[in-house]
A and B are shown apart, each in its own frame.
Chain A
């Protein structure tokens, strides 16, 4: 392993590092590139192929090219449009809750107060809870209509306890997912906030700006990039939310909490219709690409900035 690259390094001494001459040391990138290329292209090509053939594990004899029939079938599935709506509703609500909540919390925690370090650890805690644990804690210990804490609290003030996951299934899932993602937004935004130049803030205050105006005209513009990053990264993860739904509601009642990820899982691995599930997979990829197009462009800008410094 060391031979080819020992030679290059010695040869490289006089040359500038940016010399365009081929350097075997660059071969060190090959394993990463090849693996990621395979990881990306092979399954995606297979999904694309499966999505245009008839392929049902329960009916192995029925095969053949069907063109866009799988897509047409999926689009007419009564669960499809609700699943798209649920996907968007879940992403949208969790984004709003976590970004607004995370920003307010970050501003609050940017102030010095007693035991701030410990309080911060408590706030970011939920982010490290594994999704299946988070789902089960909420399902059994918080939202449970008989023994849950919310039911207990409601009885305490004389209200009728609510069976959250049955009566407000989507709201419950949103609560669980938001609980996990507020800490993420908080952590990123607090870090960004701490790089804010204090003098700029002081200057605004000296000019007579109140806390709201300082927040609006100084703090928020500074956080703009971090907020964009949070939105983009959360969107990518939220598009594939699965474990929380799998563990709490299994997509139900009916299709009330079926998102695209859960729909593909249930068509493919529960009903064994590979063709239609693959069409769903391709739709998810298209949706994600629309999002990542913006993210990659933004990161490119960012990377340039970092290299120029």
Chain B
């Protein structure tokens, strides 16, 4: 309908040009990294768009024997914490959405409020606990932290998606003799699968990019890509092409995921307040 209306009132061309200009300016740093990644170290210092692309920097970054271990850590930590958070959150969201009590709403708000606690308020004890339990600088330690910080988001998102499933479907199945387990497995999960997938995507994106805990709790063995990239910040020897190649490898997959899930992300990022 709006398309029809818009035909009547054609927008001036400069609006589109302005919008594109804004988009290009905002995206430019990312674009610049992307092209610098294909330059040689020498070319990287010259602001030019004309150059012969090379994969040299990628080869060098990947050849650094430890690079893949950082990638591995990032993958394990983000996938692991996402799976764990979903395993804990989905049953909780299921019972909250379909067997609500007077307290359910308060419980949900309380869960949200744990998200409001600034990380720095508990940095010291978490650091000491991790240190004393041998979890400092380990993938396990970071996975546990990410699971906990993402748990409220997982519960909230799963809850809002389950809440949209018509209760009648489940009741009909129950009358047909399905038990709760079958109900969840054969009806609820397939129906809300798109919602759960976007929940998982959001959790992966958040864990992949998390920087406060990873920088403070890991250094070498358990360190994900965020920490590896931060290690480029020491002043001795800037290698821009390599820095760009490493950065591009770190941000490209997550940006694609984010782009694919952009609509659903709004819901997750605002705890369902904006759909």
Using CB atoms and an 8 Å cutoff, list the residues of chain A in contact with chain B.
Answer: 2, 5-6, 8-10, 12-13, 17-18, 20, 23, 25-29, 31-33, 35-36, 39-40, 42-44, 46-47, 50, 105, 108-109, 111-116, 119-142, 147, 149, 152, 179, 182-184, 187-188, 191-192, 195, 198, 202, 225-226, 229, 233, 236, 239-240, 242-243, 246-248, 260-261, 264-265, 268-269, 274, 277-278, 280-282, 284-285, 287-289, 291-292, 295-296, 299-300, 302-304, 306-307
Contact = CB atoms under 8 A, between A and B. Distances in A.
A303 B29 contact: no
Contacts, number: 333
B174 interface: yes
Interface in B237-275: 238, 240, 243-244, 247, 250-251, 254-255, 257-259, 262-263, 265-266, 269-275
Interface string B5-41: 1100001000110111011101101101100100000
Given A47-B124, A268-B123, A299-B109, A288 B211 contact: no
Contact of A130 (B24, B107, B175, B208): B208
B59 to A, nearest CB: 20
A296 B251 contact: no
A40 B117 contact: yes
Give chain B's interface residue range (CB within 8 Å of chain A): 35 or more
B118 interface: yes
B47 A149 contact: yes
Given A43-B129, A137-B247, A242-B215, A147 B265 contact: no
B126 interface: yes
A239 B118 contact: yes
A137 B27 CA distance: 12
Interface of A is mostly: helix
A42 B128 CA distance: 12
B45 interface: yes
Contacts of B152: 36
Contacts of A124: 258-259, 262
A175 to B, nearest CB: 11
Interface stretch (B50-58, B60-68, B98-106, B190-198): B98-106
Interface of B is mostly: helix
Nearest to B19: A108
A55 to B, nearest CB: 9
A63 to B, nearest CB: 14
A128 B254 contact: yes
Given A136-B233, A236-B116, A123 B250 contact: no
Contacts of B23: 119-120, 122-123
